[in-house]
Chain A
Amino acid sequence: MNAETIKRASAVYFSLLKDKVIDENSEHFQTYFDPEVRQTVLLLADESGTYIIESPKRIQIVVQPTGSVFATNFTHMKEKHKQIETKKHFHLISVVIMSFLAAIDQNQAAKIRTKREGISYYTLERQVNDLIMNWDSILKTKPGMGEEVRIDMKDVVTTWKYMEVDTEDYGVKKANRRTRIGLIASAMKLLETEGLIVILDRDDIPKAVPKQELFERIEYLYHDYDRYEMFKKLMNTEEDGHAENPSN
């Protein structure tokens, strides 16, 4: 690895840090695909706990699930919800994002359709509700199972269940975290700020339209078998430290 390569690679890496996404029109895009530069950038990325996502049209940088020193819009959101009262809202926001990802993570045909039509907040509300109701029945049918570590889950289920879908009061409708739609708006806002979705019909029935950037991130992160194994391992190690179902 010579000095010139390192120089070019850092230029690419730092502009990625600055802009998050480099598209094919950027001079850095060409530079990146020089094999030596690419190797160096990937090394830098790995050392700093980030992933580089490559696609024919752009490269993106995201943080790794563990070991990144970087703050993100997501960690900021978490920071802001540190108090007990607000923490469950953050959990719910995470749940909303998960349901949204599941909703758009479909076959190619459905993908194109959601890209054209978007997903309305109300549709998303139903999706989240399905998940929460499922959790609710899990909690009911297996009450003895790891009760103490399920505090979060129980809290989230209860909060959601007793939350109004929407408010009649037009003035406080939007940014109100005390309603489900308000929570969804916050979650979608986060993805919008991240440049992953576009929000349409804000004043009517808002719809979130996923951008190509989001599909590329999903594909890289969750469609890759090795990374899936890693997530699985992550989940299992987390679980190992806690109460196990004796029947397992």
Chain B
Amino acid sequence: MEEMDVNESWEGFAQRMQRLNPLFELGRGMDVGELKPYIQTILMQVLLTIFYRELNDDDNRRKSDIRYIVEDTIKQMKLLADDRQIERITSGLLYQGKEEYSKPFEALYYDEIRQSWETQVFRYVTMDELYTNLELGSSIVYKLTDVSQEMIFMSREMAEEFSITIEQLYSMQLIKNGNFRKATRNLDNLISRVNRLMAKEFTFQKEMINNPKILLIEDKSQRSDSRAEIEQQFEEEKNHFRTITSMIEKTKRRNEEDNAVQKELTLLQEKISHTRQLHDRFAKLVIQNISYEMKLKAENPSLFWETSLVSFREHIYENGFMKEGVRRFELIESVLSPLFSPKNEFILPLDWIWGEQEFDEKQQTETVVEEETEKAITHQRVTNWDSVIMAWSYVFQYLQTYREFSLADLAELPLEIQNLWFKESETIDLWMMFDKKPLKVQVLHRKEETFSDEREILLYKLMKEYPQFQMFEGLKLYTKFDPKAEPFHWQHMKITPFKICIQEEKR
């Protein structure tokens, strides 16, 4: 099983790295001075611009155009660059190293199958043969390579940047170029895109119902004003689907002889009809949400008024307590107290409640409940005598003074000690042991190995650590039911309240 897990993590590792390397390498080693921290962002935007031009059949993708794109991008990002830097960035996207050699980029990856390091050779842009006029010997028109397209798709997966329309355009482009397999693959992107948007729309619907005010802040709030526009957009997208379908039909007819192509086209056709169905469902959901929004706004306009002139953050916290300090903490308490609900365990007749409430509550041994839940965080059970001894030393100190100790008294000890007490479950286990039978303390002169009773070990260790407890030697410890205390709950146990007492006996 474990071995399988290991294999899984290696599965397709070389391929993964080959997808990531171009990202890692983007702009690396480029000497652009102070632009270095921005270089990847600049280059990504340049790649996107080239990509969109390709989708829109725009052939302004020559080196001189790319140089202009670089310059423009830098300007738009409010950065400064001189000609040399712009040249460097442009050529750095086209080739590795000196422009003269026009070298491709290289990166290492580990091949998990061959178990060796391999070199990956790639480029970000390559010649677009459709647009480069080879006969006329004009300059090269560039398009993205598969590698850099992959980068854009990866980032899109994260950013959900592309609209459905762009995906459709891209599919059309691919079909036009006869790249059916890739078109099919791109439909997967379109499907995942639609699915994602649909999930988002569902969440939005849920949130809107629960808290209509989000309509005030989500961008979507504006869309209800332009319902017609949205419907038109869906209509357009439907048209794209129709175009894609007819393109596939035409191509099918043109390639009747070619079985392989027919197969690919059939696959493409199936996929497109699935995508279309999903898209229709999505459109319906969006329209439904819009109607709901409009209904909410019409019926409960007050929900959308931002009425509050005051806020806790600004008026009470920042301008109040933070700026002025606090004279008496009762002030903070009265500000915070109404955050809490009245506590009431029993329903009593009305006038009883008024009178008895506080009283009833105090009877509950709440101390432990809180510690318990905090304890649940730790989940550990350690045998740590040091801590146990430390915790119990307070009990024996108490016993020394008052001759008896009840668990309820614990609440009176400093909080640190209370925490200590519940830190080790053994501490409380030992408490339970005292309830078994009275213990005559005779440990001082015995060897540790001879003890069979945990309580004796405890006392022995206590006396060694704190000599003042040697006075317990010869005394008898017994327990008594404590009628005043409530049953005690600790870690799913109900502990009968009892107290440990000292019975003085002459030796």
Per-residue 0/1 for A156-186: is the Cβ within 8 Å of any B Cβ (1 yes, 0 no)?
A: 1000000000000001111111100000011
CB < 8 Å: which of A66, A103, A222 contacts B311? Answer: A222
Per-residue 0/1 for B317-355: is the Cβ within 8 Å of any A Cβ (1 yes, 0 no)?
A: 110111111111111111111111111100100100111
Given known A-B contacts A69-B357, A153-B326, A105 and B313 have beta carbons under 8 A apart: yes
Contact B311 A105 (CB under 8 A): yes
Contact A202 B377 (CB under 8 A): yes
Q: Does B493 contact A (CB under 8 A)?
A: no
Could you tell me the distance in whole angstroms from the C-beta of A230 to the nearest C-beta in chain B? 10
Given known A-B contacts A95-B332, A152-B326, A222-B312, A72 and B377 have beta carbons under 8 A apart: no
Q: Does A239 contact B (CB under 8 A)?
A: yes
Contacts of B335 in A (CB 8 A): 65, 98, 231, 234
Q: Does B211 contact A (CB under 8 A)?
A: yes
Contact A61 B320 (CB under 8 A): no
Contact B338 A175 (CB under 8 A): no
Contact B415 A225 (CB under 8 A): no
Q: In the assembly, what is the distance between CA of A59 and CA of B455, in Å?
A: 53
Contact A223 B331 (CB under 8 A): no
Contact A70 B337 (CB under 8 A): no
Contact B217 A109 (CB under 8 A): yes
Report, as a range, how many residues of chain B touch the other chain: 35 or more
Query: Chain A's interface: helix, strand, loop or mixed, by majority?
Result: helix
Contact B361 A76 (CB under 8 A): yes
Could you tell me the distance in whole angstroms from the C-beta of A214 to the nearest C-beta in chain B? 8
> Which chain A residues in 99-124 approach chain B with CB under 8 Å?
99, 101-103, 105-109, 112
Contacts of A10 in B (CB 8 A): 350
Q: In the assembly, what is the distance between CA of A235 and CA of B339, in Å?
A: 17
Q: In the assembly, what is the distance between CA of A64 and CA of B337, in Å?
A: 7
Contacts of B340 in A (CB 8 A): 62-63, 72-75, 194
Contact B213 A139 (CB under 8 A): no
Contact A173 B378 (CB under 8 A): yes
Query: Chain B's interface: helix, strand, loop or mixed, by majority?
Result: helix
Q: Which residue of A lies closest to B366 (CB)?
A: A76
B101-109, B240-248, B302-310: which lies at the A interface?
Answer: B302-310
Given known A-B contacts A89-B415, A146-B327, A112 and B214 have beta carbons under 8 A apart: yes
Contact B354 A48 (CB under 8 A): yes
Q: Does B416 contact A (CB under 8 A)?
A: yes
Given known A-B contacts A62-B341, A65-B335, A65-B337, A175 and B371 have beta carbons under 8 A apart: yes
Contact B330 A63 (CB under 8 A): no
Given known A-B contacts A64-B338, A172-B423, A238 and B375 have beta carbons under 8 A apart: no
Q: Which residue of A lies closest to B332 (CB)?
A: A94
Given known A-B contacts A106-B313, A153-B325, A172-B423, A177 and B339 have beta carbons under 8 A apart: no
Interface-central residue, B310, B358, B414, by most chain A CB under 10 Å: B310
Q: In the assembly, what is the distance between CA of A221 and CA of B451, in Å?
A: 62
Q: Does A8 contact B (CB under 8 A)?
A: no
Could you tell me the distance in whole angstroms from the C-beta of A224 to the nearest C-beta in chain B? 7
Contact B334 A175 (CB under 8 A): no
Contacts of A153 in B (CB 8 A): 325-327, 329
Contact A70 B374 (CB under 8 A): no
Q: Does A40 contact B (CB under 8 A)?
A: no
Interface-central residue, B316, B329, B335, B347, by most chain A CB under 10 Å: B329
Contacts of A238 in B (CB 8 A): 327-328, 330-331
Q: In the assembly, what is the distance between CA of A146 and CA of B327, in Å?
A: 8
Contacts of B300 in A (CB 8 A): 56
Q: Does A43 contact B (CB under 8 A)?
A: no
Contacts of A200 in B (CB 8 A): none
Q: Which residue of B lies closest to A150 (CB)?
A: B327
Q: In the assembly, what is the distance between CA of A239 and CA of B342, in Å?
A: 28
Contact A196 B212 (CB under 8 A): no
Per-residue 0/1 for B250-274: is the Cβ within 8 Å of any A Cβ (1 yes, 0 no)?
A: 0000000000000000000000000
Contacts of B380 in A (CB 8 A): 171
Given known A-B contacts A102-B317, A108-B213, A152-B328, A221 and B416 have beta carbons under 8 A apart: no
Per-residue 0/1 for B349-383: is the Cβ within 8 Å of any A Cβ (1 yes, 0 no)?
A: 01001110110011000110011011101101010
Q: Does B315 contact A (CB under 8 A)?
A: yes
Q: In the assembly, what is the distance between CA of A156 and CA of B326, in Å?
A: 10
Per-residue 0/1 for B114-142: is the Cβ within 8 Å of any A Cβ (1 yes, 0 no)?
A: 00000000000000000000000000000
Contacts of B207 in A (CB 8 A): 112
> Which chain B residues in 181-231 approach chain A with CB under 8 Å?
207, 210-214, 216-217
Q: Does A42 contact B (CB under 8 A)?
A: no
Contacts of B173 in A (CB 8 A): none
Q: In the assembly, what is the distance between CA of A202 and CA of B374, in Å?
A: 10
Q: Does A203 contact B (CB under 8 A)?
A: yes
CB < 8 Å: which of B213, B322, B347, B366 contacts A18? Answer: B347
Contact B312 A223 (CB under 8 A): yes
- In addition to A69-B355, A94-B336, A112-B214, 5 A-B residue pairs with Cβ atoms within 8 Å of each other are A48-B353, A71-B357, A131-B317, A152-B328, A196-B339
Cβ contacts A to B, 29 pairs, < 8 Å: A21-B341, A56-B212, A56-B300, A62-B341, A69-B357, A72-B341, A73-B343, A74-B337, A78-B333, A91-B329, A103-B313, A107-B217, A108-B213, A112-B217, A131-B322, A139-B325, A153-B329, A173-B378, A174-B374, A189-B373, A193-B370, A221-B338, A222-B311, A223-B307, A225-B308, A234-B331, A238-B331, A242-B327, A242-B328
Top 3 closest pairs, chain A to chain B, by CB: A70-B342, A223-B308, A175-B374
**Which residues in B have some Cβ–Cβ distance to A below 8 Å?**
207, 210-214, 216-217, 300, 303, 307-313, 315-318, 320-344, 347, 350, 353-355, 357-358, 361-362, 366-367, 370-371, 373-375, 377-378, 380, 382, 411, 414-416, 419, 422-423
